[in-house]
Amino acid sequence: MAPRQPGDEVREPPEGLGTDMINFRSDNNASVDAPILEALIAEASKRDDAYGRDEVTAKLDEEWSAVFETAVHVIPVLSGTAANAISVAAVTPSYGTLLCHRQAHIVEAEVNAAGFFQPGLAISSFEGAHGKISASALQAALENSPWKSWNRSQPAALSVTQATELGSVYEPAELSELTDIARRYELCVHMDGARLANAIAHLGCTPAAATWRCGVDILSLGASKNGCMLGEAIVVFREQYIPRVRYKAKQSGQVAAKLRFVSAQLRAYCRGGRWLRSASRANAAAERLARGLAAIDRVQVATPPQANIVLATLPREVIDALRAGGFTFNDWDRNGTVRLVTSFDTSEEDIATLIQAVRTLVGRSVA
Amino acid sequence: MAPRQPGDEVREPPEGLGTDMINFRSDNNASVDAPILEALIAEASKRDDAYGRDEVTAKLDEEWSAVFETAVHVIPVLSGTAANAISVAAVTPSYGTLLCHRQAHIVEAEVNAAGFFQPGLAISSFEGAHGKISASALQAALENSPWKSWNRSQPAALSVTQATELGSVYEPAELSELTDIARRYELCVHMDGARLANAIAHLGCTPAAATWRCGVDILSLGASKNGCMLGEAIVVFREQYIPRVRYKAKQSGQVAAKLRFVSAQLRAYCRGGRWLRSASRANAAAERLARGLAAIDRVQVATPPQANIVLATLPREVIDALRAGGFTFNDWDRNGTVRLVTSFDTSEEDIATLIQAVRTLVGRSVA
Amino acid sequence: MAPRQPGDEVREPPEGLGTDMINFRSDNNASVDAPILEALIAEASKRDDAYGRDEVTAKLDEEWSAVFETAVHVIPVLSGTAANAISVAAVTPSYGTLLCHRQAHIVEAEVNAAGFFQPGLAISSFEGAHGKISASALQAALENSPWKSWNRSQPAALSVTQATELGSVYEPAELSELTDIARRYELCVHMDGARLANAIAHLGCTPAAATWRCGVDILSLGASKNGCMLGEAIVVFREQYIPRVRYKAKQSGQVAAKLRFVSAQLRAYCRGGRWLRSASRANAAAERLARGLAAIDRVQVATPPQANIVLATLPREVIDALRAGGFTFNDWDRNGTVRLVTSFDTSEEDIATLIQAVRTLVGRSVA
Amino acid sequence: MAPRQPGDEVREPPEGLGTDMINFRSDNNASVDAPILEALIAEASKRDDAYGRDEVTAKLDEEWSAVFETAVHVIPVLSGTAANAISVAAVTPSYGTLLCHRQAHIVEAEVNAAGFFQPGLAISSFEGAHGKISASALQAALENSPWKSWNRSQPAALSVTQATELGSVYEPAELSELTDIARRYELCVHMDGARLANAIAHLGCTPAAATWRCGVDILSLGASKNGCMLGEAIVVFREQYIPRVRYKAKQSGQVAAKLRFVSAQLRAYCRGGRWLRSASRANAAAERLARGLAAIDRVQVATPPQANIVLATLPREVIDALRAGGFTFNDWDRNGTVRLVTSFDTSEEDIATLIQAVRTLVGRSVA
């Protein structure tokens, strides 16, 4: 089973790009936001109880409940994969099907963690422009499902990524349309909010309006992409899920001994709306980048970014030269489209340098 | 998650059709072949050890090894789902991907048993005319897989159904082409042989030529569709899989207390090539049926059957009237194509009755 | 991990004992009861729908509901291991603990099928005389459990075997005492009724009084030990478990294509109280055997059998000679106690022959 | 299943003890060691690749290989539970049994994570003085295992905790004796080294001599108990385990996006032998504490500590008063034995304060 011929790894350039590179590859590659680091430093000299029984963790629910304007329970975990897998396992029985977009992270980059956390769970994915599930596709899929068959997996849950893996953002009305359909068929709704902050920053609505008021039952809330150091969160909107989520977190090794250090980050992340401000910065950087690139001949930016991801199409030789010149980013497809991700710490200088480099390289390349 | 609106159940007519119907719905609905029943009756008065430690089971490997012209180990199980799931779990690690056709039974009608038996296993399915995986599609899928990525499931096994769920049959050369590609990428090869007997009967080749000589490592061998009462078999061609297959069979409750009664059937099934003769009868019935239907106006039989399945397109009102008249069969799609399955016990009278009924109903219906 | 030195296999004599032996090894080794075989023969010539959608299966619930004097749902499965594992998985979450006796079949001889069907499930077993869980041991175990700890598995279900693996039988009042304690701690109750028929025959009470009226929520009902050919049943007393049990049966390959042949057996098993009559015969044989052995010098039968198992202590050389002489049975321990199991088809002649042989051999052996 | 009556939680005092308490409850409750924090601060301002493809992680194997004097592969994870479960799942098949001490953390406080990571895995635990598995108990257990039975789980791996959960330490010769027995039966050997550093500090031997030279195949290396903030490590001594461990880590959500922050800690932990120095400090504190307590009337310290755990028996009223007075620690049993754990940051003042408090309280209490 060990492959002889490496395939064409579209999104994963060779390893070891190091720290001299200018990072447009992922918001996971960013630094740590100052208030987050400060919170860790402040906690580091203290002693307190382990496994979440500490004073820092004790305030987590209260603070995030205020943010979401409803009682929530927050379970800190290490990774988005864990947040997603534990969440979908909580709302999908072993004979259930999880519905999601073909390009969902859950499908593409989690080594089927969902199927590991809930053995037997099936995933049914479908198309949708811009990474967004269309209501008609969902409706059709649910109408045509083998309901009441004892021989077929039963649709049980819907997972929507907000903002999507392509960086597009659902309007609350679009989300509600999807969740209304889901509910009609008694599906639970999970939101992969790895970049939820970026979506909310774009929409300018409240966190409540972006999640549970749109019918979301359980949320993977991204933090490490947006300034945290180590940690993400599961936000549970429905009390009945809490035991199974908490126990699965423990059983899967997601409850750190010194959990308070993850909680401390999540509270600093929340404090004063830091998470939304960091996301706004990243979004603004993406917007500037997109505008600058779109103005260059032979460069296409098909849609203006709604979050912190820019998909730009460049001549192949420009792509290669940019990499040789120290910029890191992933290919999006084999037709010259690249994915540029901005982070809370992407500087104006980084943006300007990239735009200038593209301009120069395009100028040099054969038309 | 309990659905309110039953979907349009394409392939599963309402329950309780009873025994007065003329069965073209499935070879699973057939009677029990006489030699199989005789073997059970003969064994029923005896006493012998349980869990496979008996004298009947002791001869299973020897007799099937002779059939396959190589040393095999046979593990009796209750169902095709168990045979498939245990087999693919044996050759696919939890982080592996199983490749198969979009219409594979494993994908469509086993409630993701494969993902239950091997938690984390991912399934990647693709298109192919007539239910057959094309070599170029397989090659492309494997070339484009995220080899060596620690973040992506790794292709690990290929499952081919022979004869396919549509009743088509791979030529040995076609199979070898697929398994050669698979091996180049170090994939293991599983064959879902629910209707292998029908394929072999069609091909006129040896069981060896149809399986391990074509690169098959492990086989689900169908028996209940072809005259047996209760039971199927896993045929293991590679010794290193035996322990994990045997233990998984036990751990999943597939080892019957009085296992000798499954073994007795499998030996009677094998004896004197009964399995191939039963399959030939079913194939011949399908051929007669197809010829008869194709000769009727406004009825299309797109491809001549290669095994015991006929896909015929009829006017909708004819389909409804046939059902009202006591014939059972499944819809294949929503465009008037139905799936007619013949069995070892489908009589000439059954065939003639159906053809005549279609002719009459077509005559009556508005063109 | 392949062992070099076979351990002392206390209960599993070498393989291949064949059919000439006189069987006291297991009721699994018995023949098939005539009405069961007749039902299979009658069904064998018919055609009907697969996967349980047939006319035979359609009556299963009705007939067994009458037997249990309450609405039950019956799910046919292949083995006791499957019946147990699917049942306990239905009533124990992944973070739950199943409580049972140290000698429970679930613990000793199922390759931890329970932990395979419900990944993460823990088993906590404890002692009890005669294979029976004592109320005080259960009470103590539950009092001392780490309730409400997010770091420890939570007791979730109790499994009692009736009749026990040692052949002892709980009085209904004893069972109720256990289930009352269980319920106080909100545990679900599973009964491993592999030999329930023998227990009921001994008690002379109704099936209802022996099961749900004693607080049993879900039951593994043994059939193959008591005259059936292939098959056992899960009997569900609580409606909310039905979907998860049915889907798990399908997902684990326990739904046979020609399920009607298992259903036919289970209905013949039930008809006219056949199951209880067969068990009575086996119990009576055990009683005769025990009386005869107890009368022999240097043979101890510690407790009179309550079901169809006799534990008798014999001199070692007698044990060896019996085996050499064609009797099969298992060692119970290393101190000369053997387990003799009678079946519905154990003849008076079998009993007399064994008693005589023991008498003779004891006479010959050195005191 | 929700318990009504909380049991007597022996080791888990009520929540919310906060930071004013003097911590003898767990080394998990300690602060963060300065060099670890510095390494995190240094890395926090940088950008680098995610999921372990960064420059920091790139050096992890090299540095720890030097420590262990052999080529090792280090996989960072979040918790000891994850390290243990992934490790044992790598060396135990689903039909395998893991052997360990009755008081192993794997058994007592991981919600059967091992059985979740490897569905079907069985755990067989046994007694041993001072938390240490005795060679004779292991030998007996293996001799009496049901080798070669297809109906019983097969012993597959041994897990030893070093230092044990009671704080005792195996001599290398004791470990080798155990692993020699294990190997004779072809078992793999896992070491739960949550407090390995403390054991090595006590033994004064090399890390190599304490692990792979004693026959250990895979190691859970504790870090958070010994000065780190968030993270532990799996150290793989045998190359063939690497793929399954790495993929299981990813699939279970143990691969953090900004993995470099766990790696940075693990490298600072290793640098200049910091891990062993921190452990030595904790051990020395335990020794002082034990001497001081043992000198007090009516206080028993049954065995001198070998690592950083002191088990001391005190009058009940003294225990209660200590808690009221601000000391946190766990009960070890119901007979007045408490578990006092020292950490790398336990000050002389902490020790002196506790000893003095005990002396005073004992003086006041009625003899």
Contacts of C250 in chain B (CB under 8 A): 81, 110-111, 113
Closest C-alpha to D335, from D358, D316, D363: D316
Rounded average pLDDT over D74-103 = 98
Rounded average pLDDT over A176-188 = 98
CA distance A157 to chain C (A): 16
D310 pairs with which residues across the strands?
Answer: D340
Peptide bond into D163 cis (omega under 30): yes
Return the residue matching tokens 């420009």. A318
CA distance C22 to C357: 12
- Do residue D224 and residue A25 have CB atoms under 8 angstroms apart? no
Q: What are phi and psi of B122, to 5 degrees?
A: -110, 150
Please name the member of D47, D112, D231 whose beta carbon is closest to the beta carbon of A251.
D112
pLDDT level of residue B40 (50, 70, 90 thresholds):
very high
Please name the member of B15, B29, B261 whose beta carbon is closest to the beta carbon of C230.
B261
pLDDT, position D4: 31
Q: Is the pLDDT of residue D14 over 80?
A: no
Q: What are phi and psi of C266, to 5 degrees?
A: -65, -30
Please name the member of B19, B37, B253 whose beta carbon is closest to the beta carbon of C41.
B37
Q: How far apart are the first and last CA of chain A?
A: 43
Instruction: Count how many residues are written for chain A.
Output: 367
- Per-residue pLDDT tens digits for C27-36: 999 999 999 9
Rounded average pLDDT over C308-316 = 97
Chains that touch A (3 or more CB pairs under 8 A): B, C, D
Rounded average pLDDT over B207-230 = 98
pLDDT, position D98: 98
Parallel, antiparallel or unpaired: strands D96-101 and D122-126: parallel
- Do residue D115 and residue C119 have CB atoms under 8 angstroms apart? yes
pLDDT level of residue D367 (50, 70, 90 thresholds):
low
- Do residue B244 and residue D119 have CB atoms under 8 angstroms apart? no
- Do residue D150 and residue B94 have CB atoms under 8 angstroms apart? no
CA distance C250 to B81: 8
CA distance D60 to D270: 9
- Per-residue pLDDT tens digits for D182-203: 999 999 999 999 999 999 999 9
pLDDT, position D365: 84
pLDDT, position C15: 43
Q: Is the pLDDT of residue A15 over 50?
A: no
- Per-residue pLDDT tens digits for A338-366: 999 999 999 999 999 999 999 999 998 87
| CA distances, A322 to each of A166, A340, C163, C225 (Å) | 22, 12, 76, 74
Q: Is the pLDDT of residue A1 over 80?
A: no
CA distance A336 to A365: 14
Average pLDDT, chain D: 94
User: Which residue stretches of A31-144 are H helix?
Assistant: 34-44, 60-68, 80-91, 105-108, 113-117, 135-143
pTM: 0.95
Q: Is the pLDDT of residue C6 over 70?
A: no
pLDDT, position B21: 78
Q: Which residues of B8-22 are buried (b: 16+ CB within 10 A; e: fewer)?
A: ebebbbeeebbeebb
- Do residue C255 and residue A52 have CB atoms under 8 angstroms apart? no
Average pLDDT, chain C: 94
Q: What is the DSSP letter of A75?
A: E
Q: Is the pLDDT of residue D7 over 70?
A: no
pLDDT, position A365: 84
Contacts of A120 in chain C (CB under 8 A): 251
Average pLDDT, chain A: 94
pLDDT level of residue A279 (50, 70, 90 thresholds):
very high
Q: Is the pLDDT of residue C16 over 50?
A: no
Q: Is the pLDDT of residue B126 over 70?
A: yes
Parallel, antiparallel or unpaired: strands B22-23 and B218-221: unpaired
pLDDT level of residue A317 (50, 70, 90 thresholds):
very high
- Per-residue pLDDT tens digits for A198-237: 999 999 999 999 999 999 999 999 999 999 999 999 999 9
- Per-residue pLDDT tens digits for C272-282: 999 999 999 99
Joined together, the tokens standing for residue C221 give: 């009902």
Chains that touch D (3 or more CB pairs under 8 A): A, B, C
pLDDT level of residue D19 (50, 70, 90 thresholds):
low
Rounded average pLDDT over D323-329 = 94
CA distance D157 to chain B (A): 16
Peptide bond into A140 cis (omega under 30): no
**Which residue of chain A is at minimal alpha-carbon distance from C153?**
A247
- Do residue B83 and residue C47 have CB atoms under 8 angstroms apart? no
Chains that touch B (3 or more CB pairs under 8 A): A, C, D
Q: Is the pLDDT of residue B11 over 80?
A: no
Rounded average pLDDT over B247-260 = 98
Three-class DSSP labels, B287-343? HHHHHHHHCCCCCEECCCCCCCEEEEECCHHHHHHHHHCCEECEECCCCCEEEEECC
Please name the member of C120, C244, C250 whose beta carbon is closest to the beta carbon of A93.
C244
What is the rounded radius of gyration, in angstroms, for the C-alpha atoms of chain A?
Answer: 21
Q: Is the pLDDT of residue C11 over 50?
A: no
Rounded average pLDDT over D53-80 = 98
- Per-residue pLDDT tens digits for D142-155: 999 999 899 999 99
- Per-residue pLDDT tens digits for C254-272: 999 999 999 999 999 999 9
CA distance B241 to B260: 22
Q: What are phi and psi of B171, to 5 degrees?
A: -70, 150
- Per-residue pLDDT tens digits for C164-181: 999 999 999 999 999 999
Q: Is the pLDDT of residue C125 over 70?
A: yes
pLDDT, position A19: 58
Output the CA angle C164-C168-C174, nearest 5 degrees. 90
Please name the member of A95, A244, A246 whose beta carbon is closest to the beta carbon of C251.
A95
Q: What is the DSSP letter of D206?
A: -
CA distance B33 to B60: 19
